[in-house]
A and B are shown apart, each in its own frame.
Chain A
C-alpha cells in the first residue's frame, strides 16, 4: 500500500479512537534527579547477581586465564583503538594467542564462508560504551573496528568496562545520550545468554555467550 494511503487510514482511525485521557499528553523526558553515589559497587552487585564475573585485574591477565581454561588459541576482538587498554592485542599476540579477522569479505559467498569460520569461536573481547548499575548491563555498539559478532558469537564474552562510564540505569543513560541512533547497532547486554523455555528451568548460553566477564578499568 502507498505510504500516504496507509497513513490516511491510520489518521482516520485515530480520529475515531476511544482512548482514555485524551488528548493524551506526552509525559516529558524528566528522569528523577538523584543524589550522586558511587555506582561501581551497584554495578558489580547487579552483574554478579546475573552470574557475570567481575575482575579488578589487568585485561591481559583475565583474557589469558580464560583462554587457558578453555584451551583456546584464537579469539575475536575489536580493533585496539577501541579497547581502553593500551597494547592489549599486541601483548596477547606476544603470549601466542591469535586474533581472528573480523572483517567480512563483501561478496555473499565469501561472507558466509568467513562467518562459518566463527562456528567454534570461544572467546570474544569488546568494550562497553556505557554500563548500567541498576541492571548490571553493558552497552556494546557497532562501528569502524567494532565487530558485532565478536560480542555475541563466542562462548565467552570478555568486556572491558571503564568505571567512569557507569550510569544509574538505562533511562538515565538515555536521557543524556546524544544521537543514540547514530550507530547502526547498540546492544544492552545484561548477563549471560539464557533461556527458560524448557519448563522454565534456567539454562545459560543457548545462542549468545554462556559466560560473561567484566574487566573494570
Chain B
C-alpha cells in the first residue's frame, strides 16, 4: 500500500510553522487589492471573455501561431531554439552562454526556468547566476524555493528577511522594508550593469510581431533585457497570442487579476535585438521555446489549463493554499492551477496526489481571469490519477471490511461499541489514526468521534413500543 502521501506530509509540516499565518495574511491582502481595481474604464467581464477566447483560439491553432511567431522573431533579427524537454532547454541555453565566454548571468523572474532547474544547471557549469526579482533574490539567498507565482516569498516574514540580509549580505540587522529594499537595490545594481547575459521568462509572445512581453513591477525585467549584451528569453510554448492587440488585452487582464493594478509598472515589449543606431540594448536575442510536457497536457483531458496566464489569483482564493502555502505542493506550480498542471507535465509519474488537494469549492473558477473550469479539470485529473496510479487503493479493502461487518449484526455491534469506547478514551474524541484498512481515511483527514449511543440504542430507548 504505497500511497504517495507527499502532499499530506508536506502540508502537515508547513502547518506546524508560522508560515501559514504569513501566507493567509498575504493572500487575503492580495484579494483586497484585487477588488479595488475591478471597476474601471475597461469593461472587466467583457475583457475576460475576450481574453478567454484569445487564449483558447491560440491553443486550438498553436502549431500555426508558433510557426508564425518564429518567423517574426527571425525577421526582427532574433534567433529561435526549440527544446522538447528540460534537459534540452538547459543544454541549448548553456551553449548560447558558453559561446559568449560570459559567466555573469542575471535573471528576472521566470517560472519556466524554475521548471528547468536552470540555475542549478548553470551554476554547475561554473556560471554565476543572480536572481534580480526582489522576492526571487531573497529565495536565492535563503537557498529556498518560491512559494507563490506572483509573490515568491509570501512564506517569509520581514524579520526572517532581515536576519537573512544581515547574515548573507553582512549588513546591520533591520526589518524595515524600505531599508531592506534599498540594500537590495544597491547590491543588485552592479550585476545589472555588468552582466554578460540576461535571462527572462515570457509572459506573452506575439505571433504577428515576434514580440516577447514581460511584466514586472520592480523594473528588473526591463533591466535584464536592456543592459546585458545577450538576452535569452525562455518561453513555455503555450504562452502566445496572435496579435499585438490580443497581447494588450492579456496584459490588462493579467495586471488586474494578479495584483489589482490597471497595468503592471513595467510592461516590457521586446521585438528583436537592438536595431542599427540604437544607443543601447542587447546585441543578441535568443528565444528558447520549451515543450517539457506541454504537448502531453494539450492532448489530455486537461488541455484547457494551458490557457492559464499565470496571474496567481486562483492561489489567493484557494482555502487549501491559504492553509498550507505553496511549498506543500512540492512542485513549481502550486495551488489550483498547479494541482492540474503539475501531474500533467510530469505524465502522472509524480504529483498525482495534488488533484486531491482541493475541496472543489469553485472559488478558483470564479476568480480565474480566463474562466478556466479548474474544478472540472481537477476531477479529470483525479480520474486519471486513480486509473493510472490509484492513490486510493486503501478505499477498496476498507469498504470491504465495512461490508463484512455491516452484513453481520453481531460483528457490527461489536465494531461500533469498540469505536465508541475508543472515542471516549481519547481527549477530543476525534480519531487521528484508524487501524488496518481504514487508515487511509485518516491519512488526509481526522475521523469524527462516534455518537455516544447508536441509532439502534436511541430507537430502543425513545421510540420502541410507540
Task: Kindly provide the distance from the CB of B326 to the nearest chain A CB, expressed in whole angstroms.
Answer: 14
Name the B residues within 8 Å of A112 (CB-CB): 193-194
Q: How far is the CA of A194 from the CA of B29 in the complex (A)?
A: 16
Report A102-145 residues with CB < 8 Å from chain B CB.
Answer: 102-104, 108, 111-112, 115-116, 118-119, 132-137, 142-145
* Given A13-B299, A171-B248, A195-B217, CB of A26 within 8 Å of CB of B281: no
Q: How far is the CA of A17 from the CA of B344 in the complex (A)?
A: 13
B138-181 toward A: CB 8 Å interface, digit per residue (1/0)?
10000000000001110001100100000000000000011011
Are A119 and B42 in contact, CB atoms less than 8 angstroms apart? no
Chain B interface residues (CB < 8 Å from chain A): 22, 25-26, 29-30, 40-43, 49-50, 53-54, 56-57, 59-63, 66-67, 70, 72, 76, 80, 82-84, 88, 132-135, 138, 151-153, 157-158, 161, 177-178, 180-182, 184-185, 188-190, 192-194, 196, 206, 208-211, 217-220, 222-223, 225-227, 229, 237, 242-245, 247-249, 251-252, 259, 261-275, 277-281, 289, 291, 294-296, 298-304, 373
Chain A residues near B193 (CB-CB < 8 A): 112, 115-116, 118-119, 153
| B82 and A201 within 8 A (CB) | no
In the bound complex, residues from chain B placing their C-beta under 8 Å from that of A102 are: 279-280
Q: Is the CB of A184 within 8 A of B273?
A: yes
Contact B223 A18 (CB under 8 A): no
A147 in contact with B280 given A197-B153, A208-B265 (CB within 8 Å):
yes
A20 within 8 A of B: yes
Residues A199 and B270 in contact, CB atoms below 8 Å apart: no
* Bound Cα distance from A16 to B82, whole angstroms: 21
Contact A169 B134 (CB under 8 A): no
- Docked-complex contact A132 and B220, CB < 8 angstroms: no
Residue among B57, B132, B294 with the most chain A CB within 10 A? B57
- Any B CB within 8 A of the CB of A35: no
A145 and B279 within 8 A (CB): yes
Distance in angstroms from B380 CB to nearest chain A CB is 9
24 CB-based A-B contacts, threshold 8 Å? A1-B84, A6-B82, A7-B63, A10-B66, A12-B299, A13-B296, A18-B302, A31-B245, A102-B280, A116-B193, A143-B278, A149-B227, A174-B247, A175-B245, A180-B271, A181-B211, A184-B270, A184-B278, A186-B268, A195-B217, A196-B259, A197-B135, A197-B153, A200-B30
Do A199 and B22 touch across chains, with their CB atoms under 8 A apart?
Answer: yes
Q: Report which residue of A8, A111, A199 has the largest number of chain B beta carbons within 10 angstroms of its beta carbon.
A: A199
Query: How many angstroms between the C-alpha atoms of A183 and B277 in the bound complex?
Result: 11
Q: Which residue of B lies closest to A106 (CB)?
A: B283
Secondary structure dominating the interface of A: loop
B268 cross-chain contacts in A, Cβ below 8 A: 185-187
Q: Mark A39-66, 1 if CB is under 8 A from B, else 0.
A: 0000000100000000000000000000
The 4 A-B pairs with the shortest beta carbon distances in the complex, nearest first, are A208-B219, A181-B209, A16-B299, A144-B277
A20–B312 Cα gap in the complex (Å)?
22
- The one of A11, A19, A29, A169 in contact with B252, judged by C-beta atoms closer than 8 angstroms, is A169
Contact B295–A119 (Cβ < 8 Å):
no
Is A162 positioned at the interface, with any CB of B under 8 Å from its CB? no
- Separation of A207 and B259 alpha carbons in the complex (Å): 19
Residues of A with C-beta under 8 A to B133: 197
* A142 x B30 contact (CB < 8 A): no
Contact B248 A24 (CB under 8 A): no
